């Protein structure tokens, strides 16, 4: 498709209208079935490998329509029906093995009552009593007393994963996230005072930052900032195209695809800080490399470093030079 970039103002500051206008079709989803679930392993804050059940819940689309986000593809265009989340959790848990931790990711904000009805909270809490840790995603500006009350009723501990994305002063405002670094610092301070653990999602190569060297440096600076704010875990995500507006930005030269070299470097440097857990998202990262000789080995190395939180020797290949 040839995009008509004359109709949009995304070079300066994209807004929700620009972002939504360029979207492809969303996926068909069932409000009574999670759109995905899986069992995985992940190190806990003590370095011990924990078994994790992850459920990707189907619910109302996020109110924050971020420039780079494609999670809306598996959301509803209406409010999440009362009781639907409980049916989805039951459906997934009946098909998942036992685990010590659970992630409830809803492609939105867990404490947005339009996405997760407050009437479902008691049923959710009841279903999660056997888990030592419950991890949910939430916008920093929506972290308030509801988080504290939910945490107090759990059998285990609550961890809230928040999208920080980048602290680059020119880039963050253009992501349509309605967030500042100070907002993030305030949210982490509130959660920390209330004994709630925190995880930060951080982007490698967000749109509007096109120099590869700068992308590495700003990703690393953002990891440092997150740890300084008291975050327990940083998850580094390579920014990918696929939501409509990102293709336009790439065509305009406002987005460059991350490289596998860059992901490896920022991961290694962030691990070396030894200030908390660092994970990299290896889901569907084939777009980072065009070398069939080394890609699988390099991906496996990243996955092992995720599990062990230890540096491993790089994979040598002609494409590295």
Backbone angles phi, psi at 263, to 5 degrees: -60, -45
SS3 160: strand
- Cite the beta strand spans of the chain per DSSP E: 36-43, 49-56, 101-105, 133-137, 157-165, 197-204, 233-238, 277-280
Backbone angles phi, psi at 204, to 5 degrees: -100, 125
Q: How far apart are CA 187 and CA 301, in angstroms?
A: 34
**In DSSP terms, which residues pair with 104 in a beta bridge?**
55, 136
Which pLDDT score is estimated for 321? 52
Q: How far apart are CA 282 and CA 45, in angstroms?
A: 20
- Block means of pLDDT (10 residues each) for the chain, 321 residues, are 49 83 95 98 95 98 96 97 98 98 98 98 98 98 98 97 98 97 98 98 98 98 98 98 96 96 98 98 94 95 98 89 52
If you search the block for the tokens 């069932």, which residue do you land on? 30
Compute the Cα dihedral for 69, 73, 240, 298 and give only its sign: positive
Per-domain residue ranges of the chain: 11-309
Q: How far apart are CA 18 and CA 21, in angstroms?
A: 5
Q: How far apart are CA 121 and CA 82, in angstroms?
A: 10
Q: How far apart are CA 216 and CA 226, in angstroms?
A: 16
Q: How many CB atoms lie within 10 A of CB 218?
A: 23
Give the CATH number of domain 11-309; options: 3.20.20.70, 3.30.390.30, 3.40.50.280, 3.30.230.10.
3.20.20.70
The residue among 62, 36, 1 whose CA lies nearest residue 245 is: 1
The residue among 242, 240, 287, 237 whose CA lies nearest residue 263 is: 237
Which pLDDT score is estimated for 6? 42
* CB 104 within 8 Å of CB 135: yes
Q: How far apart are CA 83 and CA 2, in angstroms?
A: 43
């Amino acid at each position: 498709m040839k995009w008509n970039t004359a109709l949009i103002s995304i070079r300066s500051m994209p807004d929700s209208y620009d972002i939504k206008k360029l979207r492809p079709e969303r996926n068909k989803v069932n409000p009574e079935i999670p759109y995905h679930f899986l069992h995985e392993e992940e190190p806990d804050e003590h370095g011990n490998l924990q078994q994790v059940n992850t459920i990707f819940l189907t619910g109302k689309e996020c109110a924050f329509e971020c420039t780079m986000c494609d999670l809306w593809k598996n959301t509803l265009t209406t409010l999440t029906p009362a009781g639907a989340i409980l049916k989805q959790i039951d459906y997934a848990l009946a098909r998942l093995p036992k685990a010590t931790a659970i992630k409830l990711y809803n492609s939105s904000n867990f404490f947005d009552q339009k996405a997760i009805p407050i009437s479902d909270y008691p049923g959710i809490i009841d279903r999660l009593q056997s888990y030592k840790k419950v991890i949910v995603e939430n916008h920093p500006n929506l972290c308030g007393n509801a988080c504290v009350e939910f945490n107090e009723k759990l059998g285990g501990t609550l961890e809230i994963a928040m999208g920080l994305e980048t602290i680059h002063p020119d880039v963050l405002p253009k992501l349509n996230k309605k967030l500042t670094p100070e907002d993030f610092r305030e949210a982490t301070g509130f959660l920390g005072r209330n004994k709630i653990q925190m995880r930060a999602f951080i982007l490698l190569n967000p749109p509007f930052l096109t120099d590869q060297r700068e992308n590495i440096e700003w990703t690393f600076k953002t990891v440092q900032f997150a740890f300084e704010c008291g975050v327990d875990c940083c998850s580094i995500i390579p920014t990918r195209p696929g939501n409509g507006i990102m293709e336009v930005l790439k065509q305009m030269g406002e987005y460059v695809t991350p490289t596998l070299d860059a992901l490896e470097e920022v991961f290694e440097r962030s691990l070396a800080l030894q200030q908390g857990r660092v994970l990299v998202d290896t889901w569907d990262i084939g777009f980072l490399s065009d070398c069939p000789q080394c890609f699988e080995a390099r991906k496996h190395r990243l996955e092992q470093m995720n599990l062990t939180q230890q540096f491993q020797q790089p994979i040598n290949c002609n494409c590295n030079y």
